[in-house]
Amino acid sequence: MRILLFILAMTIVVPSFGQRRKKNEEEETPAFVEGITYSLPRTGIRIYVKAIKEEFQPGPYAAYAEQLLGISDAKNNASVKWSIEDVRMETFAEPDPDQVHKALGDAAFLVSLTPEGCIAGINTTVETGSLKKVQTNSFVSEIKKDDGFRFANINDSPMYTPGDSTNNFRPVRVGVEQKAAEAANRILEARRTEYDIPAGMMDEFHPDGEAYKVSLKELKKIENEYLSLFVGRTTYTNEMYSFDYIPTSSSGKGDVVFRFSDENGVVPASDLSGKPVMLKAEPNKELTGKYSGLAKSENPSAGESGVFYRMPAMADVELIYELKTIANVHTPVAQFGVVAPLPEELLFGDYVVEYHPATGAVKSVTKK
């Protein structure tokens, strides 16, 4: 009798235990194990630099400038000097590898992404745009075109003069000092003519005012060309460069973006021939602190659907060269901000959520 009662009891207990185990297993298994993977965006800084190359070529008669023309500061050595003329900065957005998530549940059916894979909205048909145009950052200096200028083409003094009976009529090479004297004489002649024309001391007057202007212009050109034989010639070349930089949590200390030298101009950060040009990015800590205090949710299921948004921080971005700020901007930097879960109530089909693709911030929440 006791054995019969034990068997009956077991037949009652074992099925109920199995049902409880099955029920618990079903509760532990999520309804969705797959979803849509996306990322929140981060902010990059693109820096444009305009540099000027100043190249000086000394004149072949620089040594005679003071003797023949009274010019005491004529330079005898060639030189190259670079300077930064202009710097500007702009921002761009790209997927943040530190903020990659997977939307689960109903959100997986409603999520919209940008072409780069960043979240654009929930339950929205907003146009997500197309891939941005590729930006090429070139470190190759501009090839300077030859303008055909040669000092030898200016002075028309002959290289040789005819000989005479004293040297069997062999040609005699004209010395540099004599050529310099002839060039100086041309300069003085041009200056005298420039004075004589407006002073009315010429034998013939110009037929009209336009001819008068053209004559003076040509005389000035001749004077300057011959003068360059003594004082040299300076040419200028403009070159543009651009660099991409992604601010990080350590950017407040400053990172080397590129380097610059007087001799070589703008060079990559790895080229130690130049002095470092550093970028510092300091977030507004008061703003991010308040964001952090309000981002926490009391809902225990917050974030289970895997949908998040970003509250970007404002940051001061400075470009520093030789301890001086040469450019600065005040701009939102997404990765300096705070990430928070989107409220689960907004993930149903009754709501439309749009994002700012550049920062990951919520643009709008509307109810259908």
Angle (nearest 5°) at CA 220 between 219 and 226: 90
Please enumerate in sequence order all residues whose Cβ is within 8 A of that of 333, keeping only pairs 6 or more positions apart, or say none.
43, 91, 247, 281, 283, 312, 313, 314, 315, 317
CB 42 within 8 A of CB 335: yes
- Is 278 strand, coil or helix? strand
CA distance 50 to 85: 6
Residue 116 structural domain: 41-59+79-141+244-367
pLDDT value at residue 125: 78
- Residue with the two structure tokens 């110009």: 206
201, part of any domain: no
Is there a domain that residue 146 lies in?
Answer: no
Q: Tell me the residue type at 335.
A: Q
Residue 176 falls inside a structural domain:
no
Stated pTM of the model? 0.74
Amino acid at 363: K
Phi, psi of 238 (to 5 degrees): -95, 135
For 3-32, what is the mean pLDDT? 46
**Is residue 312 a contact partner of residue 360, using CB atoms and an 8 Å limit?**
yes
Residue range 315-355, pLDDT digits in tens: 999 999 999 999 999 999 999 999 999 998 888 778 999 99
pLDDT at residue 253 in the model = 87
Show Cβ contacts of residue 223 under 8 Å, excluding neighbours closer than 6 positions.
187, 190, 191, 194
Q: Is residue 347 part of a domain?
A: yes
Q: Which pLDDT value is given to residue 191?
A: 83
Specify the higher pLDDT residue, 198 or 78.
78
256 in any annotated domain: yes
Upper half-sphere CA count for residue 310 (Cβ side, 13 Å) = 29
CA 158, CA 335: separation in Å to the nearest integer?
72
Inside any domain, residue 351: yes
The per-residue pLDDT for 145 is: 65
For residue range 129-182, list pLDDT tens digits in order.
Answer: 666 777 777 666 666 666 667 777 676 666 656 666 666 656 666 678 888 888
Burial of 184 (C-beta count, 10 Å sphere; 0-12/13-18/19+): buried
pLDDT of residue 23: 45
Position 197 scores a pLDDT of 67
Q: Is 206 helix (H, G, I), strand (E, B) or coil?
A: coil
Is 53 part of any domain?
yes
Residues 6 or more apart in contact with residue 87 via CB below 8 angstroms: 47, 48, 49, 50, 319, 326, 327
Task: Assess contact for 342 and 361: CB atoms under 8 A.
Answer: no
- Would you state the pLDDT for residue 147? 67
The C-alpha atoms of residue 142 and residue 85 are separated, in whole angstroms, by 16
- The H-or-E segment that residue 93 falls in is strand 79-103
What tens digit of pLDDT does each residue of 267-313 get? 999 999 999 999 999 999 999 889 888 887 777 777 888 999 999 99
205-223 burial by CB neighbour count: b if 16+ within 10 A, else e? Answer: eeeeeeeeeeeeeebeebb
Residue 192 C-beta-side C-alpha neighbours within 13 Å: 8
What is the pLDDT averaged over residues 210-220? 76
Per-residue confidence at 32, pLDDT binned at 50, 70, 90?
low
What confidence tens digit (pLDDT) does each residue in 42-68 have?
999 999 999 999 999 999 999 999 999
Q: Return the pLDDT at 135.
A: 72
**Could you give the 3-state DSSP secondary structure of residue 232?**
coil
Q: How far apart are CA 201 and CA 255, in angstroms?
A: 68
Of the chain, the percentage scoring pLDDT greater than 90 comes to: 46
Residue 255 forms part of a structural domain: yes
CB-CB contact of 58 with 230 (8 Å): no
Total domains in the chain come to 1
**For residue 2, is pLDDT > 70?**
no
The answer to whether 248 and 45 have CB atoms below 8 angstroms apart is no
Place of tokens 């005819």: 162
Mean pLDDT of 76-101: 94
Alpha helix (H) residue ranges in 148-273: 176-199, 209-231
Residue 320: predicted pLDDT: 96
Dihedral, CA of residue 356, residue 357, residue 359 and residue 361, to nearest 10: 40
